[in-house]
């Protein structure tokens, strides 16, 4: 029978999940004390409880996300005398710019302790692309863009048309207001975790960005005498990591009736659906992307990202993850990375891991017991992803441990929106196409260890 989580508090959800975990572990402990495998009936019960634990975990994640969103709304409501509508009229994502003044866009930079970096845009900016972004942040442009979502372009008023001319129209497309772009990027951050822990570089144009890399260190110093200089060393070598944002697009259809209903904000509706589809597509690429016209994924073996030298299979069998295999993976990382490292597994892998114990009989996996505390594996936080590999066969990847701040993401802020009016006229719908450009890759392979089956 399906369990019901509606109406439960976060505390109640944690308590119910903890009870199920304790009950499922009791089955394993009983079988181990009697030196036997789980019976068919015990296996069935364990699988049912595991499924219920997943339901409670998903409900906890949703409740925690709702709490964070409510907290954010409270912060908004306290801006400028408590009027959120006033805050929404302020372009940019910091809610503090008034007309004619510079505005800022902020982003998280996990490379240096989670700092937030800021780009400032001015009307007279000597960089044309940044000046264009300033124009797209004006209230008039945002209002015109919002009208575009509900009207055909030829029905726009003269004032709306002038506002949209801040950027050129190409085949019916208009660049999204800067506030719209910033909110969309934030929406993606909230939904999926790679962006939250990776290092993000926003670009004002679609150009590539290169980073120098120290590919080979010099050898150690030589012990010598006062008048000698040591042997000449030629091992030090530099390289470059380059990120070139690739096009990403999605098309959706919206009923004309929905767009006409006053209670719905068409901008928010389009934002939600495009944000969801874009987030899922990016997350898949961040994990398993090939690097060919898309990001290079964490689970893709490549000399440009994480090579097979960082694969750890010792201790695992050909079909299952073992405690010794996870311990081998953890300590294949240098201690300097442990403080910020986290595990990534599919829920099917976590189901296996939940049964594992260390040499002292302690379970390796420990659930978070209250809001804000992640589940932990070998005393390191664990993230569950539906897009992580979950095929348990010889030589395949089944998980990863790493410092995700060394997974770098470059975003182009030039996102465009196209409105398709006639294409879906027969079904009384309007199409919207959202486009974006992004690229990503791991830039330091020794900060990662991939769990592989033997």
| Shared domain check, 351 and 247 | yes
Asked whether residue 40 is assigned to any structural domain, the reply reads yes
- Report the C-alpha gap between 133 and 228 in whole angstroms: 58
Asked whether residue 358 is assigned to any structural domain, the reply reads yes
Token duo for residue 28? 């394993």
Q: What is the pLDDT of residues 213-250, one digit of tens each?
A: 767 778 888 888 877 777 887 776 767 778 889 999 88
Asked whether residue 382 is assigned to any structural domain, the reply reads yes
Task: For residue 261, give the DSSP letter.
Answer: -
- Report the C-alpha gap between 131 and 123 in whole angstroms: 5
Identify the pLDDT of residue 79: 43
Asked whether residue 89 is assigned to any structural domain, the reply reads no
What's the domain range around 49? 10-80
| Shared domain check, 190 and 73 | no
The helix (H) or strand (E) run that includes residue 32 is helix 10-33
Q: What are phi and psi of 233, to 5 degrees?
A: -115, 130
Q: Are the beta carbons of 439 and 282 closer than 8 angstroms?
A: no
| Shared domain check, 317 and 453 | yes
* Other beta carbons less than 10 A from residue 144's beta carbon: 23
Question: b/e map of 261-297 (b: 16 or more CB within 10 Å)?
Answer: eeeeebbebbbebbbbbbbbbbbbbbbbbebeebbbb
Spatial CA neighbour of 25 closest among 42, 5, 7, 4: 42
Task: For residue 306, give the DSSP letter.
Answer: B
Identify the pLDDT of residue 99: 52
Asked whether residue 107 is assigned to any structural domain, the reply reads no
Q: Which of these three, 80, 98, 116, is where a domain ends?
A: 80
Three-point CA angle 389, 394, 396, nearest 5°: 25
CATH at 321: 3.30.2320.10
The conformational region for residue 428 under phi > 0 = left, psi -120 to 50 = alpha, else beta, is left
DSSP-assigned beta bridge partners for residue 115? 109
3-state DSSP call for residue 48? helix
Number of domains comprising the chain: 2
Q: Mean pLDDT of successive 10-residue segments in the chain (454 residues)?
A: 79 89 90 89 90 86 68 51 37 41 54 52 64 67 69 66 57 61 57 87 75 76 80 74 87 78 64 79 95 95 95 97 96 96 95 90 86 87 94 96 95 76 88 89 95 96
Residue 127 CB contacts under 8 Å (≥ 6 apart), including other chains: 204
| Shared domain check, 69 and 202 | no
Token duo for residue 393? 């066969």
Q: Are the beta carbons of 128 and 116 closer than 8 angstroms?
A: no
DSSP string, 272-286: HHHHHHHHHHHHHHH
Asked whether residue 123 is assigned to any structural domain, the reply reads no
| Shared domain check, 56 and 182 | no
Q: Count CA atoms within 13 Å of residue 202 on its CB side.
A: 23
Q: Count CA atoms within 13 Å of residue 305 on its CB side.
A: 30
DSSP-assigned beta bridge partners for residue 38? none
Asked whether residue 357 is assigned to any structural domain, the reply reads yes
Identify the pLDDT of residue 442: 95
Alpha helices in 38-91 (DSSP H): 40-77, 84-88
| Shared domain check, 71 and 182 | no
Q: Are the beta carbons of 46 and 27 closer than 8 angstroms?
A: yes
- Report the C-alpha gap between 300 and 288 in whole angstroms: 6
Asked whether residue 116 is assigned to any structural domain, the reply reads no
Q: Which of these three, 52, 80, 108, is where a domain ends?
A: 80
Q: Which of these three, 51, 80, 109, is where a domain ends?
A: 80
């Amino acid at each position: 029978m399906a369990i019901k989580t509606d109406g439960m508090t976060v505390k109640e959800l944690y308590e119910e999940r903890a009870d199920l975990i304790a009950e499922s572990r009791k089955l394993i402990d009983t079988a181990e004390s009697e030196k036997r495998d789980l019976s068919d009936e015990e296996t069935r019960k364990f699988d049912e409880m595991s499924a219920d634990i997943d339901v409670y975990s998903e409900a906890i994640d949703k409740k925690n996300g709702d709490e964070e969103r409510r907290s954010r709304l409270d912060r908004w409501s306290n801006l400028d005398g408590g009027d959120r509508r006033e805050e929404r009229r302020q372009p940019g994502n910091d809610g503090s710019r008034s007309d004619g003044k510079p505005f800022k866009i902020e982003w998280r930079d996990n490379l240096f302790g989670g700092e937030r970096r800021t780009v400032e845009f001015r009307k007279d900016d000597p960089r044309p692309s940044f000046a264009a972004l300033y124009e797209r942040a004006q209230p008039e442009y945002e209002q015109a863009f919002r009208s575009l979502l509900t009207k055909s372009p030829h029905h726009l008023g003269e004032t709306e048309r002038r506002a949209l001319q801040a950027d050129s129209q190409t085949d019916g497309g208009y660049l999204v207001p800067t506030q719209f772009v910033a909110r969309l990027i934030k929406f993606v951050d909230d939904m999926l975790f790679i962006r939250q822990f990776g290092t993000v570089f926003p670009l004002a144009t679609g150009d590539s960005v290169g980073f120098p890399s120290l590919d080979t260190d010099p050898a150690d110093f030589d012990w010598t005498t006062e008048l000698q200089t040591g042997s000449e060393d030629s091992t030090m070598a530099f390289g470059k990591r380059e990120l070139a944002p690739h096009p990403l697009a999605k098309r959706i259809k919206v009923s004309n009736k929905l767009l006409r209903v006053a209670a719905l904000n068409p901008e928010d509706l389009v934002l939600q659906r495009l944000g969801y589809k874009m987030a899922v597509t990016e997350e898949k690429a961040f994990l398993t992307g090939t690097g060919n016209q898309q990001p290079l994924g964490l689970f893709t073996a490549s000399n440009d990202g994480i090579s097979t030298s960082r694969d750890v299979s010792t201790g695992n069998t050909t079909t299952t993850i073992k405690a010794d295999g996870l311990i081998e993976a953890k300590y294949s990382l240098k201690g300097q990375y442990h403080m910020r490292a986290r595990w990534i597994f599919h829920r099917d892998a976590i189901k296996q891991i939940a049964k594992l114990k260390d040499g002292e009989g302690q379970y390796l996996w420990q659930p978070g017991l209250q809001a804000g505390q992640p589940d932990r594996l070998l005393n390191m936080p664990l993230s569950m992803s539906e897009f992580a590999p979950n095929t348990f066969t010889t030589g395949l990847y089944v998980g990863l441990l790493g410092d995700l701040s060394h997974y770098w993401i470059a975003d182009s802020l030039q996102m465009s929106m196209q409105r398709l009016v006639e294409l879906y006229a027969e079904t009384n719908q309007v199409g919207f196409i959202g486009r974006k450009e992004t690229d990503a890759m791991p830039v330091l392979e020794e900060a990662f260890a991939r769990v592989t089956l033997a």
